Amino acid sequence: MLRFILKRVGFAILTLFLIITLTFFLISAAPGDPIASKVGQMPEQAQELIRARYGLDKPVGERYLIYMGNLLHGDFGESITYTGKQVNDIIAVNAPISAKIGIMALFFQIVLGILLGMVAGMNRGKVGDHVIRVCVVLAICIPSFVFAALLQYFIGFKWHLAPIFGWGSWKNYILPVTAYALGGIASYTKYMRSSTISVYGEDYIVTAKAKGCTKNQVLRKHVFRNSLIPIVTMTGPAIAGIFAGSFVLEQMFSIPGLGAYYMKSVTNSDYTVILGLTAFFAMMYVASLILVDIVYGFVDPRIRVAKTGKR
Amino acid sequence: MKKQIKMAASWFMASAMAMTMLAGCGSSGSTTTTAAGAETTAAAGTETTAGAETTASAGAVTTAAGAETTAAAGAVTTAAGAETTAASGTVSADELADPEDQIFRYSKGSDATGLNPIICTTAPDNEVFEKICEGLYRDVTNEKGESAQEPGAAESCDISDDGLTYTFHIRPDAVWSDGEPVTANDFEYTFKLMADPESGATAGWLYDGTIVNFNEAMYQTDGVKPDDIGVKALDDKTLEIQLVHPCSYFLELVSTAWPVRQDVYEKYGQSYGASVDQIVTNGGFRLTKWEPNVEMTYEKSENYWNADNVHLQTIECKIITDTATRAQAIISGDIDYLGTNEEEWVGVLSQTPGLTSFVSDGNNPEFFSFNCSNKYFKNWKVRLAFSLAIDREKFNTDLNDGTAEVMYGLMPACTQVGDKLYTEAVSEDTQIIKTLSAQYPDPKALLQEGLEEEGLDTDPSRMEVHLATRGTNEFSKRISEWMLQDWQENLGVTITIDSMEWNVMWDRVDSGDYDIATAGWGPYFNDPYGLLSIYDPENGYFNSSKTGWDDEDSQKYHDLLEQSIDETDMTKRAELLFQAENILVGKGVIAPTYTATSNNFLSDKVGGYYVNPNSATDYNRIYIKKQ
């Protein structure tokens, strides 16, 4: 197991290196100038001074080496747009805000998704199942920002039940978390439903029932655990998504997460911020994949056995 | 091609973020909104918010308007049309609400990039500094709704007869937020910092060619040091500035030279202005709280020299990116002011009880810029034909709901020469294109004449011309498609539309890689020179290496501009500048189209809200009315 983890971590580092390198050169090759927003339409000679101030007068190769050198020390560099702001600080201050929304949403997604999915699966073909299925299709098809706009309009604007923008009070979580969670709840419900149905058809369930297990026991011991595999697969990447999944919503609700910085950095070609955030998201993603592999082992002993067997 | 690279890059980054199906849904959504959010600015005008925030200094902005109406070149001539009383700034006490109710709340689309006035000079930054800092003079709105210069940190200024020496007398009662007196040395230090190439100052270039030795110090020529510039504190309260040329708009220029104090600036170094504790300020308000991307809170500065006439106790600025959210915020009474040009909301907000709406004029003309090294456009008749073929009234009706200022020359109506409006200072009709249309009633014939002169195929339908857009949003698309149709109908030319982001377009202009570019410009000071100098073939932004304009007309143009710099008689100066404009527009180097106006919505409880043609809002005059 340890060897397996070490190997995965090794690959992860290589992946990150490739992502950062590729991103760096892609940004350099892409049109757009990081200081454009700063210099506006200054005379060229004056622009050169500013360019030199931010080290942009150096050739791409040299800038890459400097950047990678700093990165080895864990330094993502300084934002060009936001003068004097360190990318590390941007991540440290704003990532937790994005994460709070993401984690809350993920929590509701998993809990409600599993619950609704099992209810639907066990009541296959009945009214409850149909109602849930219709809602699921709707919730999957409608993008979260449409939900957000509807929630803002009705709950916030018309009925004054929650603030439509801002940050600081617990009330500010209500609308964005709801908007973010809805689509996910639907997806989890869908997967949980089909896996519940398929597990229900397995022979071992018949055996368990024949042995005299109560409906409750069957559900807890057999159906629930065996249906979890697809949920774990989905949750892994969703963990990475908790930092980045709510960008649009952050914009709409004026939440000071990473979203505002990421969007602005891309439009302004603020490459230190783009790189820093991209590397950060990539790290989260790779880490969550490793995590999923480990969790698989706990949920499904067969996978653990198969993997050790190979080695 | 380049666009594809950028697309590829953004897709790569999106996939690097690598989300699940559902998070992925969010991500692709987010890409869309970036576009929307970042470039919207929407409707009546402009293609780039980024543009709006771009730029330096005087609040002048390339592209501006839209999203940042308050701050950017959204500008206003009519001043707050809503308010006619109290233009002079005095409000009687019984009109005012109680001090604890003197809270003004508004919203902006973008946060400031920092609080260091030397290196943070984008529109959202200037919008902060105009409240918390005070230059030697203040740029305010006079009774006629025009821009006027009023003493600020200086109580008066003596200008020598040749217009080359400005002596400012600093107020005895002007103090910094920490109680220290404001001195002439502080301003001397500030100007020297701006002239220092090491400082990364983004507004210094405005004084290059204006203040003695400024250019030399910035570009380190002839061993000139920042210490040698023509700015000198004669004593604690007297500052002398020596100019190279008489400059009728100099007081306006220095109104955005927000001072910093040496001891504090050096104490914090690179991190000066990174937070509200790391600055000292001298304006009517102090920034007491800054939560990035959420809110800025300002409190009245009690030791400000004119504090008795400042009414507001608190100003709250909420950062709300999404226009729909901002609109809902003003309707629900969460904010008191909103500037927006998004059609869907303009209609709704105009009908909302409790809100007063007024339209403010812009100072940033939109125009098409022709690449004169192009085989067609090197002929002025071809260029002019393209310009004359634009049905500007219809353009305005179709694309701007008839709200924009239609441009038959380059100068927006608010342009001033000295203290006179440009249109009044010039004896001839400044609507150059109208005059030319009478002279050349058939643009197509003019086009063919030009093509023949160049020995080219005279069939316009076989011309191959590309139009570079400035932005990829809905409004940019509508403009380019409208132009495609217009030129097809009136000239028989079928253009190809190259849709690109605003910064990509400016890159193309820089490298001369365009046929027609959708350009726009917000001047840094209110004077025709501010707009005309950008096409100076030698040192303008659109110099001849970018525009390919290097014939004898361009030489004449350059000479006229040079002459205008040294001219102290404002009437003669206006004539010189008009002659130059007549070449630029008359020879079709550019085709001005419109200047966007902005729609403003203000809560009825707010009084004294003025915006001047240079976009600055005078917060010292705003007050909350007694209910």
pLDDT at residue B61 is higher than 50: no
> What does the pLDDT average to over B59-82?
33
> What does the pLDDT average to over B205-232?
91
Q: Which has the higher per-residue pLDDT, B598 or B480?
A: B480
| In chain B, % of residues over pLDDT 90 | 58
**So what's the pLDDT on residue B128?**
95
Confidence of residue B205 (pLDDT cuts 50, 70, 90): confident
First to last CA, chain A: 10
**So what's the pLDDT on residue A108?**
94
The closest alpha carbon to B387, from B486, B460, B507, B316, belongs to B486
**So what's the pLDDT on residue B143?**
65
pLDDT in tens, B162-185: 999 999 999 999 999 999 999 999
Place of tokens 């990318």: A87
**So what's the pLDDT on residue A306?**
53
- Give Cα B159 distance to the centre of its chain: 27
Which chain B residue's Cα is nearest to A262? Answer: B34
pLDDT at residue B485 is higher than 90: yes
User: How far is it, in rounded angstroms, from Cα A152 to Cα B404?
Assistant: 32
Q: Exposed, middle or buried by CB within 10 Å (0-12, 13-18, 19+), for B120?
A: buried
**So what's the pLDDT on residue A288?**
84
Confidence of residue B603 (pLDDT cuts 50, 70, 90): very high
What superfamily does domain A87-308 belong to in CATH? MetI-like (1.10.3720.10)
- The helix-helix angle for B570-586 and B552-566 (nearest 10°) equals 160
First to last CA, chain B: 60
To the nearest whole angstrom, how far is the Cα of B94 from the nearest Cα of chain A? 34
User: How far is it, in rounded angstroms, from Cα B413 to Cα B597?
Assistant: 12
pLDDT at residue B71 is higher than 60: no
The closest alpha carbon to A38, from A302, A233, A269, A240, belongs to A269
Q: From the list B34, B38, B320, which residue is nearest A165 (CB)?
A: B320
User: How far is it, in rounded angstroms, from Cα A38 to Cα A56?
Assistant: 13
**So what's the pLDDT on residue B465?**
96
Q: With CB atoms and an 8 Å threshold, state whether A42 touches B205.
A: yes
**So what's the pLDDT on residue A303?**
64
> What does the pLDDT average to over B42-67?
33
**So what's the pLDDT on residue B237?**
96
What pairs with residue B290 in β-bridges?
B296
Look at B48-62, B104-118, B196-210 and tell me which has the smallest mean pLDDT: B48-62
**So what's the pLDDT on residue A307?**
52
Residue B204 contacts residue B195 (beta carbons within 8 Å): yes
User: How far is it, in rounded angstroms, from Cα A75 to Cα A92?
Assistant: 12
Q: Which has the higher per-residue pLDDT, A253 or B583?
A: B583
Domain boundaries, chain A: 87-308
Q: Are strands B231-235 and B165-170 parallel, antiparallel or unpaired?
A: unpaired
Which amino acid makes up residue B172? P
Q: With CB atoms and an 8 Å threshold, state whether A167 touches B13.
A: no
Residue A153 contacts residue B328 (beta carbons within 8 Å): yes
> What does the pLDDT average to over B448-474?
93
Confidence of residue B79 (pLDDT cuts 50, 70, 90): very low
Q: How many CB atoms are located within 10 Å of the residue A206 CB?
A: 11
Q: From the list A49, A254, A281, which residue is nearest B16 (CB)?
A: A281
pLDDT at residue B10 is higher than 60: no
Residue B517 CA: distances (Å) to CA of A197, B366, B511, B514, B589: 61, 11, 12, 6, 11
- The helix-helix angle for A127-141 and A87-122 (nearest 10°) equals 150
> What does the pLDDT average to over B93-100?
87
Q: With CB atoms and an 8 Å threshold, state whether B13 touches A278.
A: yes
Q: Find the Cα–Cα–Cα–Cα dihedral B499, B504, B509, B512, rounded to 10°.
A: -90
| Three-state DSSP state, B472 | coil
Look at A1-10, B71-80, B576-585 and tell me which has the smallest mean pLDDT: B71-80
Q: How many CB atoms are located within 10 Å of the residue B189 CB?
A: 21
Buried-state track B417-434, b at ≥16 Cβ within 10 A, e below 16: bbeebbbebbeeebebbe
Q: From the list B34, B119, B271, which residue is nearest A267 (CB)?
A: B34
User: How far is it, in rounded angstroms, from Cα A266 to Cα B395?
Assistant: 32
Give me the count of residues in chain A: 311
| Three-state DSSP state, B9 | helix
DSSP letters for chain A: -HHHHHHHHHHHHHHHHHHHHHHHHHHHHSS--TTHHHHTT--HHHHHHHHHHTTTTS-HHHHHHHHHHHHHTT---B-SSSTT-BHHHHHHHHHHHHHHHHHHHHHHHHHHHHHHHHHHHHTTTSHHHHHHHHHHHHHHHS-HHHHHHHHIIIIIIIT-SS-SS-SSSTHHHHHHHHHHHHHHHHHHHHHHHHHHHHHHTSHHHHHHHHTT--HHHIIIIIIIHHHHHHHHHHHHHHHHHHHHTTHHHHHHHT--SHHHHHHHHHHHT-HHHHHHHHHHHHHHHHHHHHHHHHHHHHH-HHHHHHHHHH-
Q: Give the list of residues 6+ apart from residue B337 with CB closer than 8 angstroms, or none.
A: B70, B104, B105, B106, B107, B330, B600, B601, B602, B603, B606, B609
CA atoms within 13 A on the CB side of A205: 19
Token reading at A273: 């911020």
> What does the pLDDT average to over A125-136?
92
* Whole-number CA gyration radius for chain A: 24
Q: How many CB atoms are located within 10 Å of the residue A238 CB?
A: 25
Instruction: Please identify among residues 51-90 of chain B the ones whose CB lies closer than 8 Å to any CB of chain A.
Output: 53-56, 60-62
pLDDT in tens, B251-265: 999 999 999 999 999
pLDDT at residue B478 is higher than 90: yes
**So what's the pLDDT on residue B599?**
87
Q: From the list B9, B506, B539, which residue is nearest A30 (CB)?
A: B9
Confidence of residue A7 (pLDDT cuts 50, 70, 90): confident
| Three-state DSSP state, B350 | helix
ipTM associated with this complex: 0.77
Instruction: Please identify among residues 372-431 of chain B the ones whose CB lies closer than 8 Å to any CB of chain A.
Output: none
pLDDT in tens, B264-274: 999 998 889 88
Token reading at A71: 């990165």
**So what's the pLDDT on residue A304?**
58
Phi-psi label, residue B134: left if phi above 0, alpha if psi -120 to 50, beta otherwise: beta
User: How far is it, in rounded angstroms, from Cα B238 to Cα B183?
Assistant: 8
Look at A200-214, B456-470, B489-503, B542-556 and tell me which has the smallest mean pLDDT: A200-214
pLDDT at residue B473 is higher than 70: yes
DSSP letters for B563-603: HHHH---HHHHHHHHHHHHHHHHHTTSEEEEEE--EEEEEE
pLDDT at residue A232 is higher than 90: no
pLDDT at residue B88 is higher than 50: no
Q: Give the list of residues 6+ apart from residue A113 with CB closer than 8 angstroms, or none.
A: A184, A185, A186, A187, A188, A189, A191, A192, A231
Which amino acid makes up residue A249? L
Buried-state track B494-514, b at ≥16 Cβ within 10 A, e below 16: ebebbbbbbbbbbbbbbeeeb
**So what's the pLDDT on residue B146?**
73
Confidence of residue B48 (pLDDT cuts 50, 70, 90): very low
The closest alpha carbon to A57, from B538, B197, B194, B545, belongs to B197
Confidence of residue B57 (pLDDT cuts 50, 70, 90): very low
Confidence of residue B615 (pLDDT cuts 50, 70, 90): low
pLDDT in tens, B153-162: 999 999 999 9
Residue B598 contacts residue B606 (beta carbons within 8 Å): no
Q: With CB atoms and an 8 Å threshold, state whether B13 touches A244.
A: no
B34 touches chain A (CB under 8 A): yes
**So what's the pLDDT on residue B618?**
86
Q: From the list A83, A254, A281, which residue is nearest B320 (CB)?
A: A254
In degrees, rounded to 5, the angle at the alpha carbon of residue B396 between the alpha carbons of residues B390 and B399 is: 100
Token reading at B8: 């590829």
Residue A8 contacts residue A250 (beta carbons within 8 Å): no
A22 touches chain B (CB under 8 A): yes
B7 touches chain A (CB under 8 A): no
Give the long-range contacts of residues B549-554, CB within 8 A, separation 24 or more: B549/B372, B549/B589, B550/B372, B551/B372, B553/B380, B553/B583, B553/B587
Token reading at B374: 């192009």
Which amino acid makes up residue B244? V
A33 touches chain B (CB under 8 A): yes
Contacts of A264 in chain B (CB under 8 A): 38, 110
